Chain A
Amino acid sequence: MMPPTQRQRRQAVESDEDEDVHQRPDSPADDGNSDVDHMHGVERDETSQLIKKLVRYALACEYSRTPIRRDGIKERVLGIHGREFKKVYAGAQKQLRASFGMEMVELPTKDRNLLTVEQKRKATKSQSQKEPTSNSYMLVSVLPEYLRVPDIIAPSKVQSPDGEAAYIGIYTMLIAIITLSGGELSDPRLRRYLTRLNAAENMPSSNPNNENAPSEKTELVLQRMIKQGYLVRVADNKNAGDDDAITWHVGPRGKMEVDNEAIAAVVREIYGGGQQNEDLERKLQASLKVKERKPPRSAAANRAPATVQEDEEDSEEDEEPEPGRSTRRGRHG
């Protein structure tokens, strides 16, 4: 462990990100930042209250996999201090990193070619030349990879740990399949994969120990995955009625949480047999542009890249744990 270096690195990143917050105290006309230099005394107390509120809001959102929306922050956290967003956001990031080893990352914007023609027209109309932003965030873990293993960060107890593990396993698998199919999968193909995963009709429910409802209809679980931003289902009206009219894509949360490194870890676990496999690594690099798996630095490092639960007994295909992530708060380094 090397806390000093960690901290230095963070601060370096920090000052980059916060440039517009901290480096413009001499331009008092600038909105929201004019009072940066009053960050002492009473003002400072108020700011740290807002920072605390934002940290708590972020953790509460993540608990239910709700995106942390900028509008929500304004409404539920800032209130009349609506113009303090940047300062409060930067402070909350620091607090999240320092206390919890987590941070907020912005979710990617909706993929432009997933929009319908109508939506595209609207978008071009309303959008200036500005880089589009989603204004939504999620929490991810910034712990070093060797600490993001299932023994430490267990599947969350929300609903039930077993249901959570199964759910994470299924969406990770689906995102891996969609990504490796070029980011898009037709509905019939998705259904074929679900059949092969023995999940065409039913999936484990969010609480498989509930004798009244150990499983849930696949459609309902897919709906939840869409709602939580893991998957996107696009229906093309032009070809309505056609089987190919419906396609499946990876949603914003899915992209952040199950990144290419995580997908590579799934593939390694399933096809790699746990061995270093050069052929497989070459293919993974070609498909996912992931870093080649480095030779293990230590026993711990060896476990880290494919943080897969070691007990394989119950790893039916549809219950793969989430490699590379091990928590929905996980992220790549």
Chain B
Amino acid sequence: MEDEWEPPVPAGYNDANRAFLQGFMARGTLTFPQGQKLVAAILAAANGEPVDPESISQDAFANFVRTAREAVEPLDYDIRSSRDQLRNGERVWAFINAHSDPPTQMATTHTAEEVAYIKRLMDLMFDEYNTVRMEVMAVDEGQALKASRPKKGRESQHPNDQDEEDQPSTTTSDRGLKHSEVLSLLSSLVAEGWLEKSRAGFYSLSPRSLIEMWSWLVATYNDDSESAKDWQRIKFCESCKEIVTHGQRCSEMDCTVRLHDICQDRYWRTRRGEKKCPKCETEWTGDHFVGERAITARKGYQRGRGRAIGNGSGSRNGGRSDLEETVAAQQEAADEDEDMEEA
């Protein structure tokens, strides 16, 4: 048969690669240690003798990832990696859908009401609680519950939305979620790896979400009609150029330079230790934050009388010391994985 169509697969692609792909897809994301375990299990199954996960090199893992990526790219899936802004900047690989907006992606297992809620939650994180003065990009439980029902009669909170959002029809038909349903949904989004819940009780987007959603976030929340130097809702790290939802900001409130905690050591080293904002030359104090620390690092919050921005619903005490530890640990290990940049 002359028109025997052969699907495109990478050279040498075999069952071990297919098993890797199936294992990856079931897990959604892989860190290097998880990847070592997966590859070791595949090699063990193939050879019939145990393989020590520690013996799997970065190269071996990277090979599996590269091959899997080559195999799925023609189908509009992708495997991308990013460093976790928390957890010492550990690199995370995610299997993602290159062509869909993530709410639809999540929609496959969630109801229409839940998907509408997720959209409202995104609006809270990246619009309402992400202002020039307070770039929190996270919500606590109280704030998350406040969005359980669609807002009535209020005009759209984000002027630069694409047309499909905020149609009146959805607001009238969507009756929202009960508080108990919101709590269950949040918990399952954490278990599915879309959201992170911090010790201080804030929900933020996980590395997996950021990898999959960044272009959607930029398209939805940034306004490309404004000139690039204006403040935009989604901003990128001066050093690694990835999204910052947890990091530091220039102490000049109108300046748009942001930096990950995990990137700062390396960055200042390239600047010969001169800790000044590369743009406005203000001294970089490192105590102005993006992320939940925009709230938790405030004096009022530390005294236990903290008020969340806006509605004052987010008071949580404690947490600060944990966060400080986290930050310290991140700074130490900030540039450990320079050799793992490549997927």
Contact = CB atoms under 8 A, between A and B. Distances in A.
Interface of A: 1, 3, 6, 15, 22, 36-37, 39-40, 44, 47-48, 51-52, 55-56, 60, 63-64, 91, 94-95, 98-102, 141, 143-144, 146-147, 149, 151-163, 206-207, 209-213, 297-301, 303-304, 327, 329
A277 B4 CA distance: 47
A99 B75 contact: yes
B75 A147 contact: no
B109 A64 contact: yes
B188 interface: yes
A300 B191 contact: no
B193 interface: yes
B26 A327 contact: yes
* Interface of chain B, main secondary structure: helix
A52 B77 CA distance: 11
25 contacts: A1-B15, A6-B15, A39-B3, A52-B75, A60-B108, A63-B108, A143-B22, A147-B18, A147-B19, A147-B46, A149-B45, A151-B37, A152-B22, A152-B45, A154-B23, A157-B26, A157-B193, A159-B192, A207-B191, A210-B188, A299-B50, A300-B45, A300-B46, A300-B49, A329-B22
A55 B21 CA distance: 15
B3 A157 contact: no
B317 interface: no
Given A56-B75, A210-B188, A300-B47, 17 more contacts: A40-B3, A44-B5, A55-B75, A99-B7, A101-B18, A101-B19, A141-B22, A147-B15, A147-B16, A152-B42, A153-B26, A160-B188, A161-B191, A207-B184, A212-B180, A213-B187, A297-B48
B14 interface: yes
A89 to B, nearest CB: 13
Interface residues of B, number: 48
A146 B188 contact: no
Contacts of A327: 22, 26
B5 A91 contact: yes
B38 interface: yes
Nearest to B29: A157
B71 A99 contact: yes
B145 to A, nearest CB: 12
